[in-house]
Amino acid sequence: MRKVYGRPRFLKKRSFHYCAGCGHSIVHRLLAEVIEEMGIHERVVGVNSAGCSVFAYNYLDVDMAEAAHGRGAAVATGMKRAYPEAVVFTYQGDGDLAAIGTAETIHAANRGEKISAIFINNAIYGMTGGQMAPTTLVSMRTTTTPFGRDVMLEGHPLKISEMLALLDGVVYIERTAVNSPAGIRKTKKAIRKSFQTQLDGKGFSLVEILSPCPVNWKMGVAESWQWIDKEMTGVFPLGIIKDTTGNKDAD
Amino acid sequence: MDGNSAVGEAAIRAGCQCYFGYPITPQNELTEYMATHLSRRKGCSFIQAESEISAINMVFGASAVGARSMTSSSSPGMSLKQEGISYLASCELPAVIVNMSRGGPGLGTISAAQSDYFQSTRGGGHGDYRTIVLAPSSVQELADLTHRAFDLADKYRIPVIILGDGMLGQMQEPVDFRHEAPAELPVRSDALRGARGRPSKIVRTCTSNTSEMEELNWSLYRRYQLIEKKETAFETFLVDDAELIVVAFGIAARIAKGAIKSARANGLKVGLARPITLWPFPSGRIKELAATAKCLLVFEMNMGQMLEDVQLALQGQGEVFFYGRPGGVIPTPSEVLRVISRHYYQRGLKKGK
Amino acid sequence: MAGRIEIDQEVCKGCEMCITFCTKKSICLSGSLNAAGYIPVVFSDGGECNGCAVCAVVCPEAAIEVYRD
């Protein structure tokens, strides 16, 4: 028998600190796979962010810099402008990209910076213990919305991807989820397409990935993976939100 | 050339590759100069960022991949940059940050002030760190120190702040640019350029290991001690026989010089001590001068900030007076002369030629 | 087509998503704890595994290696 699947080369041999059933490590693995398959390991410079994934550089075996909370898009901009040969990606959560980092995200997208934004949306602030995120659903209980998110006080969940799609500098945005084998495979394709978009010099691309957070959602793993389908995709529909790359597929 | 533009030209000649800024009075000429003269240079990049926060973080990114990078602002914008500067210091990334300070606090005035001394010299952002702070007092010095700042930043892997002010930025004086832009700069050995033929590198500030964080702090402070030993810069004017020595930096030193020349013409034995590096502060030299003169008069355009460093340097040994004007008010040489004279006579100091 | 998998017991966190998505019922919970305090899963093949690798695709820990004829 031959080996058909194993731990990718650019995923450091280290056990993940993430909770059981968390989506972060799945996306880390997909990134490592895509980087290997595209042969771009020697060009990649990643920017990680504050949040559960602040230690992403402990797992991804590529040059990485940790940006201040929310500033990933600006740091990535500086990197790409100073060293255009690099393949620059950001790895950000919902608070990092769409709360504190909203301005940096929108303007990097508007300038059409040739970077790839990997956006992990788990509708909550995980690392700090489960507070409301911009993408928290209506009525969802978090530690700062203990009575459920109230539209009158906290507004609606923020659809940053749909907002960014309005900008001409943005050429590709897709929303996927990592709560099923099919979803994970689609996510990998989307990540690959985002990197290809950058390699083709076309503009800003973003992959929004709905990801489970069993511990802060106060659910078991299986329930949390199902909750994404039951509740999240109604508010954050999966699929291509914008694609002006002209590429049918990354392959 | 105006001071702001001189900074821009000097930066380009120092090999600055990236400038990221945001409009704010009174430094807009610098941002505009870079838009005109840097943006189209080969391998160079200019962005008018969406905020000062974004600009300092763009500098972080560009510096991380090895580019000589610069940003500039004025006082309220410098407040926004403090987080970014703390991160730069922690990651040991070189950067040049120019502050053409103005009256504050708050949005303040657009006129020159020196009230960002504390912000510049005491870290400014969170955490134990320092940045080199250079205080020019002429357009020529703005150019010279800007050029030097890039070298210092790279040499010590530290952010360097050029603390100017609205008046220096706006005034026009002849400048001699003594350097040509380098054809090519070597890539910094710590730069993130992709893991080609080497293990991957990480630039980071967060750790769950407190011992690691502690060791970083000790290591930074060892470097700061080295910088204190080697890079402290200071200038004196007519201090040898001075009974009263004015201690001033930047534009205040220019104003004081005018007052001192008049004072000397009136027979008052006055001199000027001008720190050029505000950090590292020339404490040793100040202490020496306090021993030879009868008293020091600290003169700054703020409520007394460098005053504290002078007092710290003296440790109670010697007399220190203070004259300050905050809020963007520009004192005149004759006003400063009156203050000098009043202290001189009140103190009963000897006159002479 | 025959297949088999190898699961790194020390890295597995017992999230059971591999069990959920395996169509060949070839994985089950082991009865013991690993060093991290999780109950890992084990390959319990009754000859059914075809090396489809769905388990490895869903595994958040990248703990599964898949072999196929």
pLDDT, tens digit, 9 for 90 and up, residues B311-344: 999 999 999 999 999 999 999 999 999 999 999 9
B212 touches chain A (CB under 8 A): no
- CB burial of residue A234 (10 Å; 0-12, 13-18, 19+): exposed
Give the mean model confidence (pLDDT) for residues A172-200.
98
Q: Under an 8 A CB cutoff, do C36 and A15 touch?
A: yes
Neighbours of chain B (3+ CB pairs under 8 A): A
CA–CA gap between residue A40 and residue A63 (Å, rounded): 12
Q: Under an 8 A CB cutoff, do B62 and A81 touch?
A: yes
Write out residues in chain C with pLDDT < 50, as ranges.
none
Question: Looking at chain A, which residue has its C-alpha nearest residue C22?
Answer: A181
> So what's the pLDDT on residue A248?
67
SS (H, E, C) A73-107: HHHHHHHHHHCCCCEEEEEEEHHHHHCCCHHHHHH
Cβ distance A66 to B205 under 8 Å? yes
Give the mean model confidence (pLDDT) for residues B202-220.
94
The count of domains in chain C is 1
Q: What are B111-125's pLDDT values in tens digits?
A: 999 999 999 999 899
Residue with more model confidence, B352 or B341: B341
Give the mean model confidence (pLDDT) for residues A196-205.
97
> So what's the pLDDT on residue B183?
85
Q: Under an 8 A CB cutoff, do A1 and C14 touch?
A: no
> So what's the pLDDT on residue A251?
45
The count of domains in chain A is 1
* Upstream peptide bond of B105 is cis (omega within 30 degrees of 0): yes
CATH architecture of B234-346: 3-Layer(aba) Sandwich (3.40)
C33 touches chain A (CB under 8 A): no
B63 touches chain A (CB under 8 A): yes
Cβ distance C55 to C5 under 8 Å? yes
B194 touches chain A (CB under 8 A): yes
B3 Cβ neighbours under 8 A, 6+ residues apart: B100, B139, B142, B164, B168, B169, B170, B171, B173
> So what's the pLDDT on residue B353?
65
CA–CA gap between residue C60 and residue A181 (Å, rounded): 11
Q: What are B272-316's pLDDT values in tens digits?
A: 999 999 999 999 999 999 999 999 999 999 999 999 999 999 999
* Residue A15 belongs to a domain: no
> So what's the pLDDT on residue A249?
60
Judging contacts by C-beta atoms under 8 Å, the chain B residues touching residue A43 are 194, 196
User: What strand order describes the sheet that includes C3-7?
Assistant: A2-5, C64-68, C3-7
Tell me which of B204, B205, B207, B213 to substitute to probe the interface with A (most A C-beta atoms closer than 10 Å).
B204
Question: Looking at chain A, which residue has its C-alpha nearest residue C14?
Answer: A20
Q: Give the residue numbers spanning the domain of A103.
A: 24-243
Question: Where are the domain boundaries for CATH 3.40.50.920 in chain B?
Answer: 234-346
Give the mean model confidence (pLDDT) for residues A139-148.
96
Tally of CB atoms within 10 A around B11: 30
What's the whole-number average pLDDT of chain B?
A: 96
Cβ distance C66 to C53 under 8 Å? yes
pLDDT(B103) > 50: yes
pLDDT(A61) > 60: yes
Q: What are B119-164's pLDDT values in tens digits?
A: 999 989 999 999 999 999 999 999 999 999 999 999 999 999 999 9
**DSSP labels for C7-22?**
E-TTT-----HHHHH-
* Residue A151 belongs to a domain: yes
Q: What are B213-272's pLDDT values in tens digits?
A: 999 999 999 999 999 999 999 999 999 999 999 999 999 999 999 999 999 999 999 999
CA–CA gap between residue A170 and residue A237 (Å, rounded): 19
Question: Looking at chain C, which residue has its C-alpha nearest residue A181?
Answer: C58
pLDDT(B23) > 80: yes
Q: Under an 8 A CB cutoff, do B45 and A45 touch?
A: no
The CA-atom distances, in angstroms, between B246 and each of A244, B136, B146, B186, B334 are 66, 17, 26, 43, 14
Q: Under an 8 A CB cutoff, do C61 and A16 touch?
A: yes
Q: What percent of chain B has pLDDT over 90?
A: 96
Judging contacts by C-beta atoms under 8 Å, the chain A residues touching residue B159 are none
For B164, phi then psi, to 5°, come to -100, -160
Q: What are A213-245's pLDDT values in tens digits?
A: 999 999 999 999 999 999 999 999 999 999 999
The CA-atom distances, in angstroms, between B153 and each of A27, A195, B159, B233 are 37, 33, 6, 16
Q: What are A80-133's pLDDT values in tens digits?
A: 999 999 999 999 999 999 999 999 999 999 999 999 999 999 999 999 999 999
A17 touches chain C (CB under 8 A): no
pLDDT(A250) > 80: no
**DSSP labels for B221-248?**
HHHHHHHHHHH--EEEES-TT-SEEEE-
* Residue A46 belongs to a domain: yes
- To which residue do tokens 């004279």 refer? B341
* Residue A208 belongs to a domain: yes
* Residue A110 belongs to a domain: yes
Fold of B3-230: Rossmann fold (3.40.50)
> So what's the pLDDT on residue C46?
82
Q: What are B44-91's pLDDT values in tens digits?
A: 999 999 999 999 999 999 999 999 999 999 999 999 999 999 999 999
A118 Cβ neighbours under 8 A, 6+ residues apart: A27, A31, A89, A90, A91, A92, A191, A194, A206, A207, A209
